[in-house]
């Protein structure tokens, strides 16, 4: 079992930055692919970014490319999402997720409770 706890959300003005953190407890963190998703009110959950076990390979959703950076520190069981040039449309609850599979596609095994990000115009 893996428990995921997100932090770092908040209110920021458009053009600003935030860094989200997700700390994992439980089984070996370094063996899990990690990802970030988001869900805005009235919208479906959207893929934001994912990072491989070693951190060497990353993929981003279209809305995140060029503005967001996912990274991880396996020594402290934490994955990050650095978000720059934030826009009001980035407003959403951001969720951290983990999976034992190395595949980018497919379902995810564990989810955090989410952290709210609000970007004001």
Looking at residues 29-39, what average pLDDT do you find? 93
**Could you tell me which residues come within 8 angstroms of residue 47 by beta carbon, excluding any fewer than 6 positions away?**
35, 37, 61
Q: What is the pLDDT of residues 57-80, one digit of tens each?
A: 999 999 999 999 999 999 999 999
| Whether pLDDT at 54 is above 90 | no
- pLDDT digit string (tens) for 93-108? 999 999 988 888 889 9
Token pair of 24, please? 């994992």
- Dist. CA 59–CA 38, nearest whole Å: 15
Q: How confident is the model at residue 56 (pLDDT cuts 50, 70, 90)?
A: confident
Model pLDDT, residue 55:
82
């Amino acid at each position: 079992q893996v428990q995921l706890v997100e932090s770092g959300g908040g209110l920021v003005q458009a053009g600003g930055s935030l860094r989200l953190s997700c700390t994992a407890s439980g089984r070996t963190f370094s063996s899990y692919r990690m990802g970030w998703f988001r869900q805005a009110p009235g919208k479906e959950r959207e893929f934001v970014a994912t990072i491989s076990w070693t951190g060497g390979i990353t993929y981003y959703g279209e809305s995140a490319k060029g503005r967001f950076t996912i990274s991880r520190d396996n020594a402290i069981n934490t994955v990050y999402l650095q978000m720059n040039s934030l826009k009001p449309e980035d407003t959403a609850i951001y969720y951290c997720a983990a999976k034992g599979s190395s595949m980018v596609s497919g379902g995810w095994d564990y989810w955090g409770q989410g952290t709210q990000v609000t970007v004001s115009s």
